[in-house]
Chains A and B, each alone.
Chain A
Amino acid sequence: MVTYEDIWQALSTVYDPEIPNLAITDMGMVADVQLDSNSERVVVKLTPTFVGCPAIPLIRAEVEQRLRQLPLRDVVVEITYDPPWTTNRLSPKAREVLHQFGIAPPPVYEGPEFPLELLREPVECPYCGSVDTVLQTPFGPTLCRAIHYCN
């Protein structure tokens, strides 16, 4: 019988296509998992980082493929905007993986959404640990990244 744990385990082997070892479960992309009482049908809801994220169809297909390897009769994967993804959903493991990849994860903040003022705060350089950094542009190489320069 398939359990929630099996499902989570399967989901934790789906990675961000651009960042090695960053599992969607650590990114906070999994918004909801519903397994029916017979453990035959699962509905998984994914909340994308950005509405226009081009990786969504790929991640979705991979999730479907992994879940189909489990003895389930029916697998449904939906995209939802509720709850909206925020950087607060990143797990400590995700923060560590991002750091190793050269991306400084933003600090955990209070309130429902990322305050723009935080963008102007110096971030810790993931390469050398210096905080002598400045925001260069809020638009980085992908929609979910900003570029800061380390002095």
Chain B
Amino acid sequence: MTVLPVELQPALKDLLYRMADDALILGHRHSEWTGLGPILEEDIAFSSIAQDKIGHAYALYQPLHELGEPDPDRIAFFRDAPDFRCCHLVEYPNGGYDFSLMRHLLFDVAEQWRYHLLESSRYEPLARLARKVRGEIKYHVFHATQWVIQLGARGTEESHQRMQQALERVFPLALGIFEVTPYDELLAAEGIFPGERVLQERWLETISSVIEQATLQLPDPQTVVPAYGGRRGIHTEYLQPLLDEMGEVIRSEPDAEW
């Protein structure tokens, strides 16, 4: 394993926690569609994507464990909301399919760019994972893009309107993905990750093009207040109840063998 200077560890851990917590929480939200999807194929799609996301979270908690944090199950199920570093976007309940689908698009395009930028990271475990995950996330983006364009541009007046409303609701939350942390500069200078501002720029370009194809109107990022706070441990009211539910069984018998 690449040996990185000790002083880089807090920055690296923060990055890993942000990515892993996003994937874990959104994975759980997506899994809530299991059995409830509007059609069978969508039920399976959201369930499959959920499984991928939770797998990615596990693969990110693993290097954290190697950096001295508790083991993946403990990290996932025994922390409370203030210790989580996920953005608000992933915390919200699924609501309707329109909201879920739009969140899926805005999140996964960011995720695709993030991993793309990490493919050349100096931190090898993350670069290796990024090169593996690339092949998985392109299916997620493919799925979200097809549906948003379908419902925006080729559906009915109602589907167009609902996707537009969903976009307006999700957009400020999605900007919260890119909340700059005090570690951004160091991570960029050390060749680990170029930073949230760079990521947001790339993301906005891709999103603008998909939203245009879907004949929807992207809100002006300058006039929108981004939902920041998640990266500092300040969360929505929805996170703690979700964590309580996720950890209910394992917390009742922490040392049980499964």
B248 adjacent to chain A (CB < 8 Å): no
Contacts of A81 in B (CB 8 A): 59, 128-129, 131-132
Minimum distance in angstroms from B33 CB to a CB of chain A: 12
B interface majority secondary structure: helix
Q: Within the complex, which residue of B41, B54, B128 is in contact with A82, where a contact is CB–CB below 8 Å?
A: B128
User: Does A51 contact B143, Cβ atoms closer than 8 Å?
Assistant: no
A38-85 with Cβ < 8 A to chain B:
50-54, 80-82, 84
**A51-B56, A137-B45 as given contacts; A116 in contact with B132, CB under 8 Å:** no
Chain A residues lying within 8 Å of B138, measured Cβ to Cβ, are 116
Verify B139–A82 contact, CB threshold 8 A. Answer: no
> Given the complex, which residues of A lie within 8 Å of B41, measured CB to CB?
136-137, 139, 147
Q: Among A51, A80, A114, A140, which residue has its beta carbon within 8 angstroms of that of B55?
A: A51
Contact of A54 among B51, B131, B136 (CB under 8 A): B51
- Give the number of residues in B that approach A within 8 Å (Cβ atoms): 26
B135 touches A114 (CB 8 A): yes
Q: Cβ of B210: which chain A residues have Cβ within 8 Å of it? A: none
Pick from A84, A138, A143: contact of B143, CB under 8 Å = A138
Interface of B toward A, CB cutoff 8 Å: 41, 44-45, 47-49, 51-56, 58-59, 128-129, 131-136, 138-139, 142-143
On A, residues with C-beta under 8 Å from B are 50-54, 80-82, 84, 86, 113-114, 116, 136-141, 143, 147
30 contacts between A and B (CB under 8 A): A50-B55, A51-B56, A51-B133, A52-B52, A52-B54, A52-B58, A53-B55, A80-B128, A81-B128, A81-B131, A81-B132, A82-B132, A113-B135, A116-B138, A116-B139, A137-B41, A137-B44, A137-B45, A138-B45, A138-B142, A138-B143, A139-B41, A139-B44, A139-B47, A139-B49, A139-B143, A143-B48, A143-B51, A143-B52, A147-B41
